[in-house]
Chains A and B, each alone.
Chain A
Amino acid sequence: MPLLTLDGIGVRLGGRQVLSDVTFSLEKGDFTGIIGPNGAGKTTLLRVILGLIEPSGGQVLVDGEPLHRRGLRNKNKSAIGYVPQKLVIDPDMPLRARDVVSLGLDGYRLGFSFPSRQRRELVDEALADVGADGYADARVGELSGGEQQRVLIAHALISRPKLLLLDEPLANLDLRSEQEIVTVLGKLAREHEISVLLSAHDMNPLLSVMDRIVYVANGHAASGPTDEVVTSENLSELYGHHVDVVRVHGRVLVVAGD
């Protein structure tokens, strides 16, 4: 049974049909990219999966159970980890990296929590999983974009989700941080068998780790294994103008042509 299934999802926002008939599914440990131009509806699609937007049609199944049925929310809540788009954390926020990760455990519950040995170990482990243990005690607002991204991934990871959703995690990163984040996410999918579903407008940094592509454009989505989707003919048709798929030093690159 697939971990996540979107079946005929349609979304209307403000009277406008933003997405229609989006169907794809994700297996355990899959690394999937939702690729498409800005404004194509990638964020909307992620928000539907999170239950933040009610679809106008179709259904989302997590582990075979409908996401939006009442009573399942609690279970699904910890099944999905989420890293939102473009978070800017103010440098004056009195939160260390480890505080942000700790909020991933129970930040949605009422009450307050006291430090404990067990909590500290869980936080340290999550930070180590994403290679952020070096700045666990730094103020999160003073970290670089790539470092903050790792901390937020650790925040999402600490509740042991089966599925990790990331909204444009590579936006605004320099090339090196971009590659490091891709490596961390690839490792989580391979070694921890967490399904990774992320949105991106540029597929190039992801081609080495991405198993599947969901391509979103003009309100529709097409999905398939990366090797099948990434051909010159397919991409030219999706983008609406000529695209070359080239191989350099064993790596695949997608380049817009004339």
Chain B
Amino acid sequence: MHYLFEPGLFSSGPVRTALLVGAVVAITSGVIGVFTVMRGQSFAGHSLADVATTGGSGAFLIGVNQFWGFLVAGVAAAAVMEAIGVQRRRGRDVATGVVLGAALGAAALFLYLGTLRTATTGASFSVLFGSIFVISPDTVPALVASGVIALLVVAVLARVLLLTSVSPDLARARGVNVRLVGIAYLAALAVSVSLAAVAIGAVLSTALLIGPSATALRITKTPGRAMAVSALAGLVATWLGIVLAYDSYYWPPHGRGWPVSFFVVALVLVGYLLSYVRPRGKRVPRSPHEGVECSPA
């Protein structure tokens, strides 16, 4: 007989670290994700995650903490993306086919070489799918600080980001340096992706970035509320995922916990699906003319 909240749960050091880092990751991803979706930059988020995979596996190969690998590769990728304009449609196709493929290929090589050297497969798993239960306590301050910095950048840019998501020209006409704002935002996005990569793995980090925000955008209609709901949804998925993963130690096969990232991503998906089953009538009030005139075309 056991309980969902096992007696030892909250007294375990790794679990407390996981809950703290999980909270930072969920809130950062949730808030920044809302802007990512509004700016139509989900693709950028995913590309950063792919390149972060390379950075994380490179860090593993040379024996550095994975977070620094994720972070350096993510920020560098953000700079390159800005410079070559990957965000434009044509650039996207080329980037997907050539650059991101090559990045993941390099990650495969690094992980293979690293595994040969250390004779352990655990590291490949933690680069790709996260390592929230084995975060070393001395990286926690860096993780928390990175999350806070990314959130501060977005808080300072919040109004300008909203205006540019309505129309970059409106912002330009008011003297906003739209390009500079885009660069700063992309850097914050790279930090947020690196944090999510630590928690649920580089290849899954986009799920925590886009999933809760997409859910929030469906059920709220102001930017502030969207950010609050998105952060909360991410937090619930992450914390519940951690608790379930801890609990799964007692699930078959006995004595081996299931991966946290599985639970988090599954819960994110459930949240998103739930946003569809809300009764239609309770949704955001629509235009009084809806059905009479359709799209602005």
Chain A interfacial positions (CB closer than 8 Å to B)? 50-52, 73-74, 77, 80, 82, 84, 87-89, 92-96, 99-100, 103, 106-113, 134-135, 137-139, 142-148, 155, 172, 174, 177
Contact = CB atoms under 8 A, between A and B. Distances in A.
Contact of A108 (B155, B176, B218, B285): B176
Contacts, number: 122
Given A92-B217, A92-B218, A135 B166 contact: no
5 contacts: A51-B175, A94-B220, A110-B157, A110-B159, A144-B294
A88 B163 contact: no
B218 to A, nearest CB: 7
Contacts of B163: 103, 107-108
Given A93-B165, A94-B34, A103-B162, A139 B170 contact: no
B93 interface: no
Nearest to A89: B166
B159 A103 contact: yes
B289 A80 contact: no
A143 B287 contact: yes
A52 B169 contact: yes
Given A52-B173, A96-B222, A111 B156 contact: yes
Contacts of B138: none
A142 B292 CA distance: 12
B284 A139 contact: yes
Q: What interface size band does chain B fall in?
A: 35 or more
A232 to B, nearest CB: 34
A109 B159 contact: yes
Contact of A94 (B169, B175, B217, B292): B217
A77 B170 CA distance: 11
Nearest to A174: B293
B217 A137 contact: no
B161 to A, nearest CB: 9
Interface in B277-296: 284-290, 292-296
A243 B188 CA distance: 57
Interface centre among B225, B287, B296 (most CB of A within 10 A): B296
B174 A144 contact: no
A108 B222 contact: no
A96 to B, nearest CB: 6
Given A84-B167, A94-B225, A99-B223, A112 B158 contact: yes
Contact of A74 (B158, B175, B176, B294): B175
Given A109-B160, A110-B156, A110-B160, A144 B287 contact: yes
Nearest to A149: B296
A15 B76 CA distance: 34
Contacts of A110: 156-157, 159-160
B171 interface: yes
